[in-house]
Chain A
Amino acid sequence: MSRTFVGMPAFPRAAREAVRDRTLRNNLRRATHTIREKRAGAVAELADWEQLRQAGKEIKDRTLRHLDHYVLQLEERVTAAGGTVHWAADATEANRIVAELVRATGEREVVKVKSMATQETGLNEALAAEGITAYETDLAELIVQLGRDRPSHILVPAIHRNRSEIWDIFRAEMGRWGRPAPDGLGDEPAELAEAARLHLREKFLRARVAVSGANFMVAETGTLVVVESEGNGRMCLTLPETLITVAGIEKVVPTWRDLEVFLQTLPRSSTAERMNPYTSTWTGVRDGDGPRHFHLVLLDNGRTATLADEVGRQALRCIRCSACLNVCPVYERAGGHAYGSVYPGPIGAILSPQLRGTESGIDASLPYASSLCGACYEVCPVAIDIPEVLVELRERVAGQAGHRAERAAMRAGRWVLEDPARLARAQRAASAVRGLVPRRIPLPGPAGAWTASRDTPQVPAESFRAWWAGRGAGGAEPGGPDQDRREPGPGGGRREHGTDRGRPDHGTEEER
């Protein structure tokens, strides 16, 4: 089914290696902090941001709840407009469909618009196995492809590379794929972008087949939408004779009007722009303008399994803006590769284990790749409660085989807590030996990962229950004078669930 990166270790080990890489950490910190502040500014321009966010959430919820209706409507409208719709149950089938469509054109190469769906299915590798070369045309994807690297960010797959690394890659690799990097190339971003323009231009002008993804698919009109910046998307969507679009079934939105919400929230969340430079929309094929053949491959690949979980389903609202990555303290330190999936960061931590299942080491560890600080939820333009889904997935992982010791400990705890007399005896026993409890208790095996970084809680001389019982017998009242001030008032006093959210722990200043 879906692929994990081959031989991917579980998150903690991969993250430990990444955190030691100082270049990587500096690249990531610089990039994520820049975009974080810009995003906040772009969002603050709209007084109705919360309402737009709520509308985006509700539009997606309606779509998901009636996905059968909307996908069928989309199929009908795309077909009526001259497109051909294909259905792929998994990655292998999607790749086979695309390969056969390319082969039917007689072509041996395709140009590609950046697409998460085809990253997910591993399309490029599958096409290569069929003797078809896929050229990535998004600048960051090009950097990843030329560097024989893996993507580490949803929006900017080469975010882990700085300008001088990119300069190295362009000079060493461009010539092997086509037009080499110009002589005297410098490492200014503008010069690097110019080199990419020259390198790709000849490919665009001769390409006869293109492969794309889609940001949105409008069910009522059969219209597809691609949001981009560079113009490589326009090149691929306009110049070739055949266009093949691969998109997850959850990319559908009910109406044309719904775009007024997402085209406001996506660019501001993603690149912190009022609007991205280019958005293309097309409906089927049009005489004399653009491709003459249009194929849409609708991809399941674990999405229906995700849909079946009423809590986890909300991950399918995702519009791939990557705001949650940019704000996440774990992503900032561990980097995208540690997540072992084309979907890194907080959204990846809930999406990958649902799309692929929680059996593998990496997928079982992803729900724990978070401090549950909730910053991701705060910035999400479709209000995905990522911490809620993480906790749900942790329950699922804890329930599967391989967690016997944990479950036994929980059962013992429950047995003690269920009976007041048992609890009192346990507390007295703990107080009696408190002087003997060391500051750290290194446990063997996997539990050692927990104890290695945590101090043992201090056991008090007397439990609260014992103190409370003794107090009635004429003891002092240490809390007395403060009683009034501690009285919970209306709506106050008790901390509401979730008040810690939105305060990401950015406190730790890192080494320069």
Chain B
Amino acid sequence: MTTEAARGPGTAAGGSRELVLGRIRAALAGRPPGERPGDVPVGRGYLDVHTDEDPAALAELLARHLTEYRAAVHRTDRSGLPAVLAGLLAARGSRTVVVPPGLPGHWLAGTTGVEQLHDEKDLLTPALLDAADSVVTGCALAVAETGTLVLDAGPGQGRRALTLVPDHHICVVEAPGQVVASLPRALPRLDPARPLTWISGPSATSDIELDRVEGVHGPRTLDVVITGPE
């Protein structure tokens, strides 16, 4: 490796950084001196929400929009959750399930005959994840208007690969606490420093004749369990 390459091409050491910045400044020469970015007006006349924010209505809307994008939605109360999860794993015929750190222990208490793969000290390799039948997680929040689940790698969700490689993802949404109406409601509740995955239905493509087909690289089956209060 040459000295130049060792220093790293195009890095702050010089080269094109100053060139590009100089070009940007030259292109903006017509800008009045002293103008600050905030002086350029940005109107935000758009709506914060497009829907009724009643908690029951939001859970209903979330369920409808997820279903329209081919996720299977199941409703239960908190005490019914273990039985619903056990039923979904059994219906799928899953023999192994990936369990992220921090998943509440009782969620899988009703599940028998399914090996739990915990992603703890020895992280699961991509090959092990590929061979796993299902993964069960919670989420950071869900957006009703767009039918979106947001995972932030927090407790009960795990690192991003866990919900990506297995072909079957079961995601639990706790209503009403985790359900928001809209994107303007969602963003302030999310921490951009964490890696976020926004999921709206199972993997899909429109690349052949602009016709939507479900199921490419991400999980092809997405089960969403919305739990209500007791």
Contacts and interface: CB of A to CB of B under 8 A. Distances in A.
Interface of A: 27, 30-32, 34-35, 45-48, 51-52, 54-55, 58-59, 61-62, 65-72, 81, 84-89, 93, 96-97, 100-101, 104, 137-140, 143, 156, 158-159, 162-163, 166, 189-190, 192-194, 196-197, 200-201, 204-205, 218, 221, 223, 229-232, 234-235, 237-239, 249, 254, 256-257, 259-261, 263-264, 271, 273-283, 286, 288-290, 297-298, 300, 304-305, 307-308, 310
Contact of B50 (A47, A197, A205, A297): A47
A235 B164 contact: yes
Contacts of B148: 275
Interface stretch (B34-42, B78-86, B105-113, B170-178): B34-42
Nearest to B125: A205
The winner among B41, B123, B204 for most chain A CB atoms within 10 A is B204
Contacts of A232: 216-217
B156 interface: no
A45 B143 CA distance: 16
A35 B1 CA distance: 50
Q: Summarize B's interface: helix, strand, loop or mixed.
A: loop
A326 B40 CA distance: 32
A275 B146 contact: yes
A289 B218 contact: no
Interface centre among B16, B188, B193 (most CB of A within 10 A): B16
B187 A230 contact: no
B93 interface: no
Contact of A86 (B10, B127, B197, B210): B10
Ranked 10 nearest A-B pairs via Cβ: A231-B218, A231-B217, A304-B23, A308-B27, A86-B10, A289-B159, A275-B146, A279-B198, A230-B216, A62-B40
Contacts of A196: 216
A88 B24 contact: no
A436 B24 CA distance: 58
B210 A97 contact: no
Contacts of B91: none
B37 A281 contact: no
Contacts of B17: 87
B216 to A, nearest CB: 4
B192 A158 contact: no
A31 B208 CA distance: 9
A494 to B, nearest CB: 29
Nearest to A218: B192
A290 B151 CA distance: 14
Interface string B23-50: 1111110110001110011111111001
A311 to B, nearest CB: 12
Nearest to B188: A257
B197 A139 contact: no
Given A52-B46, A304-B20, A288 B123 contact: yes
Contacts of A273: 69, 200
B228 interface: no
Contact of A307 (B8, B24, B153, B203): B24
A256 B146 CA distance: 18
Given A139-B208, A277-B69, 5 more contacts: A27-B209, A68-B21, A68-B28, A166-B208, A190-B215
A39 to B, nearest CB: 11
Nearest to A62: B40
B184 A260 contact: yes
Given A261-B46, A277-B200, A201 B130 contact: yes
B46 A48 contact: yes
A88 B10 CA distance: 7
Contacts of A308: 26-27
A307 B206 CA distance: 33
Nearest to B5: A100
> Secondary structure of the A side of the interface?
helix
Contacts of B212: 271
A7 to B, nearest CB: 28
B19 to A, nearest CB: 5
B90 interface: no
Contacts of A289: 153, 159-161, 195
Contacts of B209: 27, 30-31, 34, 162-163, 189
B197 A278 contact: yes
A156 B207 contact: yes
A434 to B, nearest CB: 50
Given A62-B42, A104-B1, A271 B159 contact: no
Contacts of A229: 203-206, 216
Contacts of A275: 143, 146-148, 198, 200
Interface in B5-23: 5, 8-12, 15-17, 19-21, 23
Contacts of A30: 209
B43 A54 contact: yes
9 contacts: A47-B47, A68-B25, A201-B130, A275-B146, A275-B148, A280-B195, A283-B192, A283-B193, A289-B153
Interface in B59-87: 65, 69
A263 B203 contact: no
B104 interface: no
Interface in B132-153: 143, 145-148, 153
B160 A278 contact: no
A67 B37 CA distance: 9
B102 interface: no
Contacts of A288: 123, 159
Contact of B216 (A55, A104, A193, A256): A193
A260 B126 CA distance: 33
Contacts of A46: 50
Given A59-B42, A93-B10, A205 B126 contact: yes
B56 interface: no
A65 B195 contact: no
A162 B198 CA distance: 30
Contacts of A201: 130, 217
B117 interface: no
A3 B218 CA distance: 34
Contacts of B194: 283, 286
A409 B60 CA distance: 68
B211 interface: yes
A257 B148 CA distance: 17
Nearest to A63: B37
A58 B8 contact: no
A87 B203 contact: no
B187 A277 contact: no
A274 B216 CA distance: 19
A277 B202 contact: yes
B11 A84 contact: yes
